[in-house]
Amino acid sequence: MRKTRLMSLTGGIVFATALSGAAFAQQNASERRAHADLDEIRKVSSLLKSEVLNRANERIASVSDLVLAPDGKIQYAILGVGGVVGIGTKYTAIPWNRLDVKHPRGKWAVNLDMTRDRLDHAPMLQDEHYRELSNPQWLARVREFFGDKSAVDSHATSAEGSSAATQPIVWRASKVLDATLKNPRDESLGDVEDLLLDRNDRAAFAIIGHGGVLGIGESYIAVPWSKLRFSHKPESTSLAAVIDMNKDQLEKAPLVKGSTYETMLAPGFTGQVYRFFGAENGG
């Protein structure tokens, strides 16, 4: 009888240990998935102004801006073509999937299999606020020129039947990087310093700088993209990032040390960030 009880107890301990081990393994797997999205630090700020080279290794353009979907996925790159020191430069939008973009050894490499003369014939943006990106006919011309046979993107779809007064917002990375982080009570909580892309070319985190004076003593916090919303001023196309937190709450968030943001690659750190903000891993 005692032997039976002992076997039962031992079996219970083994079963409980197995459950505990499975839960631990599941947690580790979950954190590894979150970490795997940031197997490198891919800064949007360093992608902007990257040179675009063709197969002959000739500079044919530069990346001037990015157009993001509301979920943070890159849809278009704005390329600056020609000009000298920005003077006389023309701009076009290329579907993101038509560029060959890599990030070897921490630096961006952007390639496009096209000659400079051919690129000069691409549909060019005429409006300084890129309002053409809300025009489905213009976007169709762009996709045709660059040979993009993918499905119509959300910007074109949402623009169907829109009037000039109700044009949808164009989410420009440069405007996001200029944004101030506020809460619904319009209290300033910091500034968006950078965006970090995951391995699927989606904005996964916004790096928020707060505190300090003139950048000295500033602290950095990573906020999951999915926890942000943006208010928009149509007259200037400026954006303000909004999060439902007060300053005291935000200051308790996990800190990202240093301007290289390498803390984001520490084992389990992104999982810690997701849990703090109540976001699921990966969004």
Query: What counts of helices (H) and strands (E) characterise the chain?
Result: 8, 15
Residue whose structure tokens are 């999951």: 224
Q: How many CB atoms lie within 10 A of CB 278?
A: 8
DSSP label at residue 213: B
Tokens of 128: 């300084």
Find out whether 168 and 159 touch, Cβ atoms under 8 Å.
yes
CA dihedral sign of residues 40, 45, 48, 50: negative
pLDDT, position 153:
52
pLDDT, position 3:
43
Find out whether 43 and 194 touch, Cβ atoms under 8 Å.
yes
Measured between alpha carbons, how far is 247 from 183 in angstroms, rounded to an integer?
9
In the chain, the domains with their CATH numbers are 44-171 (2.30.30.240), 178-277 (2.30.30.240)
- The H or E element that residue 60 is part of is strand 59-68
Our measurement of the distance from residue 70's CA atom to the centroid of its chain's CA atoms, rounded to an integer in Å, reads: 10
The tens-digit pLDDT sequence of the chain (283 residues) is 444 443 443 444 333 333 344 443 444 444 444 444 788 999 999 999 899 999 999 999 999 999 999 999 999 999 999 876 667 899 999 999 999 999 998 999 999 999 999 999 999 999 888 889 989 999 999 999 999 877 555 554 443 333 333 345 678 999 999 899 999 999 999 999 999 999 999 999 999 998 754 455 578 999 999 999 988 766 666 788 999 999 999 999 999 988 899 999 999 999 999 999 998 665 5
Tokens of 46: 């360093």
pLDDT, position 181:
95
Listed residue (276, 158, 179) closest to 224, CA to CA: 276
pLDDT, position 85:
65
Report how far apart the first and last C-alpha atoms of the chain are (Å, whole number): 54
Quote the pTM value: 0.80
Measured between alpha carbons, how far is 212 from 17 in angstroms, rounded to an integer?
48
> How, if at all, do strands 51-53 and 109-111 pair?
parallel
DSSP for 242-282, written as a single string: E-S--HHHHTTSPEEPSTT-GGGGSTTHHHHHHHHHT--TT
User: Which residue type sits at 279?
Assistant: A
pLDDT, position 134:
87
